Amino acid sequence: MFQVIGERINTSRKKVQAAVVARDVKYIQEDVRSQQEAGAHFIDVNGGARIGHEQEDMQWLLETIAPVVTVPICLDSPDPTILEMAYTLVKEQPMVNSISLEKERFEVMMPFLKGKKCKIVALCMDDSGMPGSSTDILNRAEQLVTALVGIGMKLDDIYLDPLIQPISTDSGKGTMVLDAVRQIKKQFPEVHITGGLSNISYGLPERKIINRTFVTLMMAAGMDSAIIDPLDEKIMATIKTADMLNGKDIFCMNYLKGVRTGVIKS
Amino acid sequence: MVDLKEITQTLLELDEPKMLQLINKALESGTPADEILNDGLIAGMDIVGQKMENGDMFIPEVLMAAQAMSKGVEVIKHLLADDASSSKGTVVIGTVQGDLHDIGKNLVAMMMESAGLTVHNVGVDVSPDKFIELIKETNANILCLSALLTTTMPMMKQTIDALSESGLRAQVKVMVGGAPVTQEFANVIGADAFAPDAGSAAKRAKELVH
């Protein structure tokens, strides 16, 4: 089944930042509840937008969320000292977002991950920048999987992010990432594919229709997770329907349940 | 005579073949190359920038316009005086150290080039020292800094501080941009200007040096 990582608890979103500054417990808890009700499998928590306040904001967010959260948390920070602190504040095995092949991040994240029980988002990014071809993405995916398996991580705990790039700047960016995902899934069927879906539509109007259409193409290629807003009802309905068409919904139960609860409409 | 507004119009319509025809016709009828550049092509790209800022034109259309513009410039290049375009300002543009994003920054560079500025696009992950070296080398009067991550935004301040220490701050206007960057942040770190998109960035840059 497709796994939704709910992206809303992020201090780069204005309302969340205001709630964090005001220490508004109710707002944050309500948001987490509504994401869970909408079907989020993970709640991403990113407290990095207020420069110089990440430590306190992350800690406050995690303590605030703890009483209401019923799904695993996705700890989102580039800073291992923040992650180390955050890791001690979660009860259930978290997802960690993220590691990449960029030397500075890779070298501090590997010792952090070693021996820990968690899921990991692995970005196909290295010091030369964004990947330029599907082969590029595949090579980076191989390096990441090899390294992570090498320190004892299970394939099922690895969530590769192939880095979706804007189609507006190069009309080949869609097929590039689709090809890469097919190749990665062929080589590592147990590894998950996730990512920030909305990058595809950057610079174009009516972005949501692009995002919804693209997620179905990506799901056919093998993407089985995404970092999205679970309160976007249309994309959630599209994902549930595509999951069924992909053979992931036995007896179409989730689809029918979605229709009966009013979540899925034609 | 060819009305240069027609060249501008064909550029806006993204009709490259017709635009090139009109440029050749204008040259044949004796229109000076620098007039074709300034009143036809650059005037057109200024409107493209404006339309982009207003959400009336989108990135793929802007890219097509810029491509048409550069094809047009190729036709008239050999007829342009060497200093025809250097008078509008010289820009060093790059993504700050620790940040590898370049899509937005490249768009800004392209729009500035199309607006008639001399642009040195120096890439991503550029250290403060490297920026200073490049400003000296190119004698630039505008420095554009891009950052796409909240974690690399502080590097913009460090770059500006390094510029002050090097004694070059007075000769260079500094512009900042990137998804998490705001006007407020630009004020706090002592930048001269902020632009929210590539269209307005080119316009702001020209205002800064005039």
b or e along A206-236 (b: 16 or more beta carbons within 10 Å of the residue's beta carbon)? eeeebbbebbbbbbebbbbbbbbbbbbeebb
Cβ-defined contact of B151 to A165 (cutoff 8 Å): no
- Give the pLDDT confidence of A147-193 residue by residue, as tens digits: 999 999 999 999 999 999 999 999 999 999 999 999 999 999 999 99
Backbone dihedral region for residue B139 (phi beyond 0: left; psi -120 to 50: alpha; all else: beta)? left
| A12, closest residue in chain B (CA to CA) | B180
**Residue A51: predicted pLDDT:** 83
**Residue B77: predicted pLDDT:** 87
- Give the pLDDT confidence of A33-85 residue by residue, as tens digits: 999 999 999 999 999 998 889 999 999 999 999 999 999 999 999 888 999 99
**Residue B87: predicted pLDDT:** 58
CA distance readout (Å), A110 to A122, A161, B73, B95, B149? 11, 17, 51, 27, 22
- Give the pLDDT confidence of A91-126 residue by residue, as tens digits: 999 999 999 999 989 999 999 999 999 999 999 999
Distance CA A123, CA A100 (A): 5
Distance CA A196, CA A142 (A): 20
Partner-chain residue, chosen from A48, A127, A168, that has the shortest CB–CB distance to B60? A168
- Which residues in chain A touch residue B100, judged by CB atoms under 8 angstroms apart? 102, 125, 127, 129-130
What is the SS3 assignment for A193? Answer: strand
- Which residues in chain A touch residue B101, judged by CB atoms under 8 angstroms apart? 130
Cβ-defined contact of A169 to B103 (cutoff 8 Å): yes
Give B103 or A212, the one with higher predicted confidence.
A212
Section A12-34 average pLDDT: 97
Burial of A58 from C-beta contacts in 10 A (0-12 / 13-18 / 19+): buried
**Is A175's Cβ below 8 Å from some Cβ in B?**
no
**Residue B199: predicted pLDDT:** 86
Section A194-220 average pLDDT: 96
B146: β partners: B95, B177
Q: Which of residues 218-257 of A touch B (CB under 8 A)?
A: none
One pLDDT digit (tens) per residue for chain B, 210 residues: 789 999 999 999 999 999 999 999 999 999 999 999 999 999 999 999 999 999 999 999 999 999 999 999 999 988 887 655 555 799 999 999 999 998 889 999 999 999 889 999 999 999 999 999 999 999 999 999 999 988 899 999 999 999 999 999 999 999 999 988 999 999 999 999 999 988 899 999 999 987
Q: Which of residues 80-109 of B touch A (CB under 8 A)?
A: 98, 100-103, 107
Q: Where are the beta strands (DSSP E) in A86-157?
A: 95-100, 119-123
**Residue B82: predicted pLDDT:** 65
Distance CA A195, CA A35 (A): 18
**Is B54's Cβ below 8 Å from some Cβ in A?**
no
Distance from the B51 Cα atom to the nearest Cα atom in chain A, whole angstroms: 13
Cβ-defined contact of A129 to B102 (cutoff 8 Å): yes
**Residue A231: predicted pLDDT:** 97
Partner-chain residue, chosen from B58, B149, B153, that has the shortest CB–CB distance to A203? B58
Q: Which of residues 171-210 of B touch A (CB under 8 A)?
A: 180
**Is A166's Cβ below 8 Å from some Cβ in B?**
yes
b or e along B17-26 (b: 16 or more beta carbons within 10 Å of the residue's beta carbon)? eebbebbeeb
**Residue A89: predicted pLDDT:** 95
The ipTM assigned to this model is 0.85
* Terminal alpha carbon distance of chain A: 21
